[in-house]
Structure 1
């Protein structure tokens, strides 16, 4: 393979991989946009689902169970695993965000709404 095509393959792989790794960002954004709530919160939620602090979803199978990082809340432990290229968890998280935002906007007075509801 020539150096040009090897470079082209590497470049196109970057674009293709980025689309699937960051899929939850686009999904959360589009759900919040469609439901008429704050789109920036959807983007932040999507970025949180694919955060670099979480274990990459593609690395879970090759990581021993004892080495998967966990949040320890004392009464429960939660695995720190990201949601790269996951559609259903992103949709469920976005719908939860939408309904929580609408709930808090409805019950909060306008004076404190800017603090409680971003």
Structure 2
């Protein structure tokens, strides 16, 4: 192998490494959980935020029993460019009422993929 072939090989390898780093999820979490999961709890709310809905979304929920666990999961294909963030802005976990703020971490004013929100409550 001569010098030029070696230089071309190095350039190709560096290019592939650069492309692979761009393909990974670079926007944050794809799953956010709040609270403590218990197998005995029952699903008391399932809500889907659809792709292209405005960002952020607020979910208000009042249950007849305590809300113990929340999972917010991004339903995206491989190579998502954003993640999700979720926080309780009203009420509290382990109470009957709370307000959840769900945000897409991308630089857009809409959700870039579907998001599923699940809450589990004391039976």
TM-score (norm 2): 0.31
Question: Higher relative contact order by CA 8 Å / sep ≥ 6: 1 or 2?
Answer: 2
Q: Which one has the largest radius of gyration?
A: 2
More helix, by proportion: 1
More strand, by proportion: 2
